[in-house]
Structure formats: structure tokens, C-alpha cells
């Protein structure tokens, strides 16, 4: 049998698995599934945090509902166990990338402190029921170690909720309730240890009518603990050392709790004020300025009404400042989702590139106009265009009363003035008076912002100018002859500019050539000078020549003196 036939036989054998077993997916710690699982874990953690201590301190509560407690206990244990499984299937970020490898996730989780706490919180301490009996819920105190899961759920909810300040106050009230609840349970347990009714401080004797009921026991203890922790007063004086110690501990807890509450409430109020300052302009400074400058009452009233309109209708004047901390791309996506539909209604922006519209959306500036306020007047220089987001505006005559037309939501005006179209008979001047009938919310796009964006999209600029030219033709405000003259003048100017550019290029070429020749000549001269220096080094110096002449003269004088002395001192001539 060939090798290929063996392979086929092996693949077709019934022992080979026909399907791969599907494994549980990896959860994203920032995803929705993980968030909802955290909210699910709030219930078992809160159950153990509140009920166990209550069952341990109020024996009647434990004995009366034993079966229900056992069912709830082991249901919470099952959720604790499932939470460990979720931990083993929750990815983590490594260098900004979500790790989905099960092996790496498991090894990462096992090495964390959270894994140790999760294991200890699930230790089967209930086995001690066999010796101590089922009425000892204190054996389940290790379930409190899963409390960090509760804090994580609260943090995620505070980040996701649309009302974070309300959630912070609710969370603070829940913490206060848990503290008072625990304190009331400990108070009742201490009263039972010292003896009910032994003095005025402890819980009254259950033999008295009404004090034997479980509800009365808990409510009395909760009320007494509230009085202590709020330091309201009307508390019986302690009579024993244990009572004094309990009161001292409660007073210290009350001081710390009061500081925590004040700090939390101050933080909430500060955040609310900060949010208001970020969303709405501060009117106090404007009011102070108007009062110092003695602005007339009517104008001051209009300014105050404008601020009041912003506050009541939640209109945001600082939209750009609010989104400034977002990354540029994310900020563009938020702005596109809010304003792109409005911008796409403008005729000159239709059929433009999506990236161009995204750039323009970031340039939109929200503006709010009061009733009777002019947005623009005839003859004004047009430096921006407007898009009506909400409200109504009227095209009025110079008297400000006669209305020619009413502009509603989604309409726009002033788009021609921000595009320099050749042959526009009105130039960049406004051709009508536009007044706000009520409170009107507009989007403003300035000419400078449009020019800055179009510098990166020259093709889009051509398309927009063509659309603007078509609009002017329909309005009979385009002078074709003037347009042709401007085009001819522009072409002539461009031709002259191209000629100047060519001449400038020629001059630069000649200058570069002359500079190269100058550098070459300088190099040759330097080489020749260096060569002459080497040649002249072998020549004698002038000082050496002068010394040589002096030595020669001295030698000649010496030789002449010797000859004279020889003639005088020699023997006389034989004659």
C-alpha cells in the first residue's frame, strides 16, 4: 500500500475527530460582556457583605430562614467559581494589544494577587458545619475577599454612565448604609454579650413587649448606630469599659466618615461646576463688566436672557474646547457623527470628498442669536457662511420690519461670499439683511478655515467654485465678461510668473556656474601658492646672505693684513 493511501485511510478512520471542540471566547476587559458580568458579580458580593454579618449577629434571622440562606450561599459560591473561569478567559493588554492566547492569559492571572484572593474566598470553610453546626455563618467570612470585584464594577459603571455625579452620590450612600449596617450588627452582638437590658446603653430586654421581634431588634440597632455615627446626640451614656471602647471606635469612625462624605460631596459639586463652566460661558464676569461700564438696562437684559437661554436649553457654546483633549481622529469622528448631516445639506459641499467634509466639520463654530438680533446686514463684508441648526431667521428690508422670506432648519446662507468666484457682481458683500426671529442656533464656517482646508484639496476647490458659479448664474449675479477678463488677466499674470520663474532659474544656474568657476580658480591659486612655498624653502634667506657677505669681507681683510706684515718683517732684498 502506498503512503498516500495510508494517509487517506487515516483521515477517513472513524477514530479521527470529526469536529474541533469549540472553546469559550476571550473577553475584552473593556467590552460589554465583561462589563455586564461585573454587574452580575455585584449581587453575590453585596449579599455576602451585608447578610453574613447580619446572620451572625442576629441568631433569630439565621434560624428562621436556614434553607433560604443555604441556597443563596451556594448560589453565590457558584457565581464566585464562574468568576474565576471568566478570569481565565479575560484578555489583558500587552503593549496596547489585547492578548487572546489562553496560555498567556492563564499564566498572567495565576501570577496576580487577585488569583490568590479568589482562591481563598472560595475555600470550603463550610465543611466545619459538620462539627460546629449549620448555624455558624461566620465560617463564610472569607467570602469578603471578593470585594475588589465590587469596586471594579463601580468604577466601570461610573465611567460608562451618563450621570456620573448621581452615581457617585448613590455609591456614597451605599457605603454609608453598609457601615451603619455593620455597626448596628456589632452593637446588637455586644449587647447580647453584655446582657440585654443590663443598663440604658445596651439593647433593651427582649422580654419587654415589642422588643422580642426581629424587625424591632434590627431597626433599633440601626437607629442607635445612626445616632452614634452621625454624632447627633441623645445617646445614653456608656456604663462599662466595653461600651466606652465601642463608643470611642464609633466616634473615630464617625469623624473619618464625616470627612469622607464632605470630601466626596465637595468633589461632586466641584465636578458639576467644572462641567458647567466647560459647557457654558461664565456670565458672572460679563455681568460685572456691564455693571462697571454702566451698560444700559435694555442691553444688559438681552445679554442675561441670552445666557439664560443657553442654561435652560443646554446649548453648548464651548464645543471645541470640550472635545480638545480627544485624539484628533476620535474628535473628528465625534464631530462627524453630530454635524456631518447638517454640513452635507449645503449645496456647494455636496459630492465632496468625505475627508474634506470631516476637516470642515472640525471648523464649524456654534453660535446662538437672540430674538431680533441681526446675523448680517446688507453691504457687510462676508467673511463666513451660516447653517441653521435650530430656529428661524427672516430676510428683511432695510427698515427691519418687512419680511421677504423665512429661513428654517437645515437652510444656509453666505456660502458664496466665502468663495472667491471671478465675475461675482456683488463681490464679497452681503446682499440681504438677515435677522433672527427667536433664539436661533447656527453653525458658522469662516473663510479662513475654508481656505486652510481647501489648500490640501485643490481639486475640491475647483469643484466648489464651479458649483458656486452655477448658483451665481441662476441668480444673474455673474458677469461673464468680467469673469473672462479676470481669467485672461490671471492667465497673463500666471504666464508672467512662469517667465519670471524661468528667468530666475536661469540666473540661479549662471550664478551656480560662476560660483563653481570661482571655487575652481581659488583652488588652483591655493595649489600654486603651496607649490611655490615648497620651492622657496630651499632658497637662502636674506639674513643668511648678509652674514655670508660679512664673513667674506672679514676673510679678505685678514688675508691682506697678513701679506703686509710678511713684507715688512722678512729679510731685506739682496740688493
Q: Would you say residue 541 has pLDDT above 90? A: no
Residue found under cell 508672467: 496
Q: How many Å from the N-terminal Cα to the C-terminal Cα in the chain?
A: 153
Strand order through the sheet with 365-369? 365-369, 440-446, 384-390, 412-413
The confidence score (pLDDT) of residue 335 equals 77
Q: What average pLDDT is seen over the chain?
A: 80
Kindly give the residue spans of alpha helices, DSSP state H, lying in 416-457.
447-454
C-alpha closest to that of 217 among 234, 227, 232, 205: 205
More confident residue, 563 or 368: 368
C-alpha closest to that of 444 among 331, 504, 360: 360
C-alpha closest to that of 461 among 348, 345, 346, 361: 348
Q: What is the pLDDT of residues 443-494, one digit of tens each?
A: 888 888 878 877 777 777 777 777 777 777 776 776 666 666 666 677 778 8
Q: Would you say residue 126 has pLDDT above 50? A: yes
pLDDT bin (cut points 50, 70, 90) of residue 3 is very low
Characterize the bridge pairing of strands 97-99 and 393-396: unpaired
278 touches 318 (CB < 8 A): yes
The confidence score (pLDDT) of residue 314 equals 61
pLDDT bin (cut points 50, 70, 90) of residue 23 is low
| Residue 81 grid cell | 467559581
More confident residue, 422 or 407: 407
DSSP code at position 240: S
Residue found under cell 485643490: 458
The confidence score (pLDDT) of residue 14 equals 41
The confidence score (pLDDT) of residue 113 equals 92
Q: What is the pLDDT of residues 318-350, one digit of tens each?
A: 666 667 777 777 777 787 777 777 777 766 677
Inter-axis angle of helices 214-230 and 164-194, to 10 degrees?
Answer: 110
387 touches 443 (CB < 8 A): yes
The confidence score (pLDDT) of residue 551 equals 64
479 touches 428 (CB < 8 A): no
Mean pLDDT of 499-506: 87
Residue found under cell 494577587: 113
The confidence score (pLDDT) of residue 559 equals 52
C-alpha closest to that of 250 among 227, 234, 220: 227
Return the ∠ at Cα 366 (arms to 365 and 369), rounded to 5°: 130
Residue found under cell 457605603: 175
The confidence score (pLDDT) of residue 9 equals 39
Strands (E), 22-166: 92-94, 97-99
The span from the CA of 475 to the CA of 467, in Å, is 13
| Residue 263 grid cell | 470630601
Q: Report CA Rg, the chain.
A: 48
Q: Would you say residue 564 has pLDDT above 60? A: no
Contacts of 332 (CB under 8 A, 6+ apart): 358, 359, 361, 362
The span from the CA of 367 to the CA of 359, in Å, is 19
Lowest average pLDDT, out of 111-115, 200-204, 270-274, 445-449, goes to: 270-274
Strand, coil or helix: 433: strand
pLDDT bin (cut points 50, 70, 90) of residue 503 is confident
The span from the CA of 506 to the CA of 489, in Å, is 25
Mean pLDDT of 415-420: 74
Amino acid at each position: 500500500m502506498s503512503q498516500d493511501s495510508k494517509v487517506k485511510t487515516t483521515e477517513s478512520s472513524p477514530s479521527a475527530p470529526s469536529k474541533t471542540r469549540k472553546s469559550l471566547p476571550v473577553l475584552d476587559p473593556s467590552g460589554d460582556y465583561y462589563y455586564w458580568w461585573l454587574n452580575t458579580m455585584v449581587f453575590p458580593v453585596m449579599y455576602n457583605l451585608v447578610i453574613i454579618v447580619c446572620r451572625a449577629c442576629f441568631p433569630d434571622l439565621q434560624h428562621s430562614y436556614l434553607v433560604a440562606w443555604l441556597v443563596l450561599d451556594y448560589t453565590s459560591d457558584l457565581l464566585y467559581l464562574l468568576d474565576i473561569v471568566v478570569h481565565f478567559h479575560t484578555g489583558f493588554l500587552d503593549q496596547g494589544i489585547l492578548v487572546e492566547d489562553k496560555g498567556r492569559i492563564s499564566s498572567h492571572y495565576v501570577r496576580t494577587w487577585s488569583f490568590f484572593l479568589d482562591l481563598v474566598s472560595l475555600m470550603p470553610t463550610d465543611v466545619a458545619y459538620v462539627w460546629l453546626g449549620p448555624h455558624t455563618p461566620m465560617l463564610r467570612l472569607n467570602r469578603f475577599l471578593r470585594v475588589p470585584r465590587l469596586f471594579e464594577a463601580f468604577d466601570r459603571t461610573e465611567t460608562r454612565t451618563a450621570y456620573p455625579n448621581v452615581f457617585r452620590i448613590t455609591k456614597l450612600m451605599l457605603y454609608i448604609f453598609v457601615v451603619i449596617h455593620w455597626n448596628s450588627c456589632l452593637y446588637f452582638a455586644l449587647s447580647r454579650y453584655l446582657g440585654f437590658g443590663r443598663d440604658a446603653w445596651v439593647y433593651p430586654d427582649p422580654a419587654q413587649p415589642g422588643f422580642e421581634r426581629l424587625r424591632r431588634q434590627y431597626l433599633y440597632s440601626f437607629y442607635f448606630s445612626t445616632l452614634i455615627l452621625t454624632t447627633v446626640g441623645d445617646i445614653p451614656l456608656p456604663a462599662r469599659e466595653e461600651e466606652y471602647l465601642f463608643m470611642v471606635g464609633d466616634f473615630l469612625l464617625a469623624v473619618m466618615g464625616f470627612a469622607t462624605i464632605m470630601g466626596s460631596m465637595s468633589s461632586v459639586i466641584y465636578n458639576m461646576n467644572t462641567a458647567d463652566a466647560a459647557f457654558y460661558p461664565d456670565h458672572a464676569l460679563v455681568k460685572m463688566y456691564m455693571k462697571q461700564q454702566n451698560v444700559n438696562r435694555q442691553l444688559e437684559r438681552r445679554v442675561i436672557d441670552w445666557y439664560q437661554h443657553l442654561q435652560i436649553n443646554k446649548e453648548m457654546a464651548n464645543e471645541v474646547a470640550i472635545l480638545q483633549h480627544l485624539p484628533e481622529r476620535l474628535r473628528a469622528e465625534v464631530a462627524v457623527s453630530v454635524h456631518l448631516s447638517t454640513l452635507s445639506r449645503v449645496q456647494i459641499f455636496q459630492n465632496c470628498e468625505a475627508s474634506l467634509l470631516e476637516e470642515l466639520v472640525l471648523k464649524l463654530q456654534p453660535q446662538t442669536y437672540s430674538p431680533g438680533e441681526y446675523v448680517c446686514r446688507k453691504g457687510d463684508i462676508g467673511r463666513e457662511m451660516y447653517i441653521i441648526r435650530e430656529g428661524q431667521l427672516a430676510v428683511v428690508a432695510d427698515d427691519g420690519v418687512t419680511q421677504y422670506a423665512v429661513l428654517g432648519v437645515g437652510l444656509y446662507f453666505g456660502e458664496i461670499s466665502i468663495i472667491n468666484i471671478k465675475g461675482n457682481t456683488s463681490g464679497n458683500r452681503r446682499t440681504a439683511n438677515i435677522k433672527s426671529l427667536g433664539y436661533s442656533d447656527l453653525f458658522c464656517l469662516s473663510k479662513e478655515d475654508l481656505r486652510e482646508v481647501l489648500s490640501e484639496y485643490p481639486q475640491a476647490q475647483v469643484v466648489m467654485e464651479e458649483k458656486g458659479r452655477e448658483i451665481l448664474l441662476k441668480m444673474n449675479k455673474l458677469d461673464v465678461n468680467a469673469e473672462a477678463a479676470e481669467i485672461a488677466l490671471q492667465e497673463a499674470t500666471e504666464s508672467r510668473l512662469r517667465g519670471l520663474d524661468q528667468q530666475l532659474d536661469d540666473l540661479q544656474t549662471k550664478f551656480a556656474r560662476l560660483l563653481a568657476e570661482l571655487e575652481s580658480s581659488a583652488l588652483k591659486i591655493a595649489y600654486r601658492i603651496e607649490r611655490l612655498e615648497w620651492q622657496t624653502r630651499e632658497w637662502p634667506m636674506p639674513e643668511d646672505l648678509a652674514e655670508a657677505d660679512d664673513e667674506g669681507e672679514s676673510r679678505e681683510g685678514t688675508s691682506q693684513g697678513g701679506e703686509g706684515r710678511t713684507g715688512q718683517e722678512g729679510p731685506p732684498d739682496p740688493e
